[in-house]
A and B are shown apart, each in its own frame.
Chain A
Amino acid sequence: MASAEPAAPRGAAHFFAAPLSLLMRLVDWPMSALQRLIGERQMAYAFLLPNIVFFGLFVFLPLIINVVFSVTGGTALFPSQRPFVGGEQYAYLFDCGSFLDPNSCREDHFWRGVSNTARFTVFQVTAMVLFSLVTAVVLNMRIRARGFFRAVYFFPVLLSPVVVALTWKWILQRDGLLNAGITSLGGERILFLVDPSWAMFWIVFVSVWAHMGFYTLILLAGLQAIPADLYEAAEMDATPRWRVFWRITLPLLWPNMIVVIVLALIKGVQTFDEVFVLTGGGPGTATLMVVHYIYETAFSNQVQNFGLAAAASVVLGVVLFALTLAQLAASNRKGAA
């Protein structure tokens, strides 16, 4: 079928083109009939329909049901069988002696998740911005084989969270490569994922390792957009390099930096996959994240508490909404600059 089409492209897209072509011919007949019925202009709605149905069914409808879940109790999944409890779930979630001390809360796991996620996000975003910036600046220098080095840093971005976590679990385990290095230097073996502080350090490290390539690309694009004559002028004046960096590079890169910071914040607050596989939230609850708490409360605990999980996701949603507004504001400023 595809061979009959001279314009058929090569590569990945071609793989999907042949079965699609047949399907499309089958759709042509009813779509043409529809067009005769409603007219050419109205066809826009027909083209939009499938996507909107999917969005409605799996995004907007769930958003509303989420709120319904959060104000009802019981263990039933279907909203009609759930008794209305008002703000009880939220009250339970926020029943704390002090918000800074998870132990004083009735739902201490949630607050431990909040506190872990907050600490994780602060460390991770800081490290992420720092390392992406350094890497992007280095990649933007006049170096050989830039394409190769850029690809090197990008490589882990493509790996699945499970693969990332297992790769590092293998290195960090008791008899792993890292401990072999430590003992060969005369040190004592460290149980990295059993010690709470080390576990937190490593989930930050692994998550920066896995995602910094993505942020590096955004910053690199920003660096390459800085006009070269600015640098040439600075070079003629024999301006020291650090001064060039502070006075030219950083201010002009700032819009991209804000995008990176906010995107990293949004992703950081939702961290789950790598941490779940690497530490399982442990040791104890030392690396339990908010999304992990939601998943456990709704799906993996013996009593599935959908109401409480929904209330926690509404809280998370509000935080994400605030962060997204910050991002929109930042990108508007970028457009104006």
Chain B
Amino acid sequence: MSLVTKLATARRKPGRWHWTDVAAYAYLALGVVLMFGPVLWLAMSSFKTQAGLLEFPPSLLPMSQQEVVVAGHAQPLPLFEVTMPDGSTRVLAQVRRIGIQAQMVDPANPAEVIRVAIDKRTPVREFKLATENYTEPLERFAFTRFLWNSVFVTVVATIITLIINSMAAYALSIYEFRGKNTVMLMVIGTLMIPITIILVPVYLVVTELGLVNSLWAVILPGAATPTGVFLLRQYMLTLPRDLIEAARMDKASEWQIYWRIVMPLAMPALAVLAIFSVMWRWNEFLWPLAVLTKTESYTLQIGLNAFQGELQTQWHYLLAMTVVTLLPVALVFVFLQRFITTGIANTGMK
């Protein structure tokens, strides 16, 4: 609340309001609704029961009709609030509905059946989180498998990317050697060749290596990233050269200098690249879609896409699985958002 009042009273200079200030805050408020709203709606919907999702117009919160177990009935019965002929209201459980008449019982006195016109009753609704949307897919589908595949791809690919990119960046920032410019040009060149234009031949290479339907087919092709090499090289160029010279005097091997001195100093840049890599890999879509054709090798994104084709009507599972997929990203956003935004602002790369 205090934020709202602060925002409402914020102004450029005390006592001077300009209409652009008002417009700016209106625009920002709209932005909050438009940017967070859809995902929030998705998350709230994911806790609705299957019946709750079919309601139109939809309710804001996950509400569902209260049910009660009544002696003599195997299934739980739905509860209604009923307006009796004398004007009083009672809470009754519905046994069955015949045309415009409903047969109802008092849960406290199940023997007596009361007949009620259906327009005299309204369902008793309660706030209930349908957590089964989350637990059931775990048991019924290969969802845990997809989750594991995605985690495996993300972690292994990020480790490989960090190692080989930092090695290349080290060579390009510390040494003078023949062909350095050619290599730099090659790295720039790969920036211009996205996977979209070499889809078929990369598929051939991966097939020749015998990797189709293996997770390595997803991990390897994107492991060397020009963005990563650039980012790390720019950072390593700023490191003091005296440190490296001193280490060479002390008979440290080149590998030890790289690993013991340069890598720890480059940690800020490595952290940025690690975050980027995790995001890239977790969200990757086109290439895994092309190369993974067996269900057991699907990543989360591919599995989710396959589900939305098959489970057109089963939105309750689909929504819950979507929430699980975006959860790690939401956590990254909450904790590391500042890292990423400054990373992008500094490199102009995504």
Interface of A toward B, CB cutoff 8 Å: 5, 7, 9, 11-13, 16, 19-20, 23-24, 27-28, 31-32, 35, 40-45, 47-48, 50-52, 54-55, 57-66, 69, 77-79, 134-135, 138, 141-145, 147, 149-163, 166-171, 175-177, 179-180, 183-184, 209, 213-214, 217-218, 220-221, 241, 259, 270, 272-273, 276-277, 291, 294-295, 298-299, 306, 309-310, 313-314, 316-317, 320-321, 324
Contacts and interface: CB of A to CB of B under 8 A. Distances in A.
Interface in B160-209: 162-165, 167-168, 170-172, 174-175, 177, 180, 183, 186-187, 189-194, 196-205, 207-208
Majority SS at the chain B contact face: helix
B341 interface: yes
Interface of B: 3, 6-7, 10, 12, 18, 20-21, 24-25, 27-28, 31-32, 34-36, 38-39, 41-42, 45, 54, 56-58, 155, 158-159, 162-165, 167-168, 170-172, 174-175, 177, 180, 183, 186-187, 189-194, 196-205, 207-208, 220-224, 229, 248, 253-256, 258-259, 264, 267, 270-271, 274-275, 278-279, 282-283, 285-286, 289-290, 301, 304-305, 308, 315, 318-319, 322, 325-326, 329, 332-333, 336-338, 340-341, 344-345, 348, 350
A152 B38 CA distance: 13
Contacts of B223: 54
Nearest to A323: B192
A61 B205 contact: yes
Contacts of B315: 170
A63 B204 CA distance: 12
The 9 closest A-B pairs by CB, nearest first: A62-B201, A54-B224, A160-B283, A65-B201, A51-B168, A44-B175, A47-B171, A31-B255, A180-B57
Contact of B31 (A152, A161, A162, A316): A152
Contacts of B193: 59, 63, 317
A28 B304 CA distance: 42
A9 B119 CA distance: 67
Consensus secondary structure, chain A interface: helix
Given A48-B167, A155-B36, A177 B41 contact: yes
B253 A31 contact: yes
16 contacts: A16-B162, A47-B254, A51-B165, A54-B223, A55-B190, A69-B200, A142-B12, A149-B32, A151-B341, A158-B333, A160-B301, A162-B305, A163-B329, A180-B56, A209-B38, A317-B197
A55 B222 CA distance: 9
Residue of A16, A147, A273, A306 with most chain B CB atoms under a 10 A cut-off: A16
Nearest to A158: B329
A176 B319 CA distance: 13
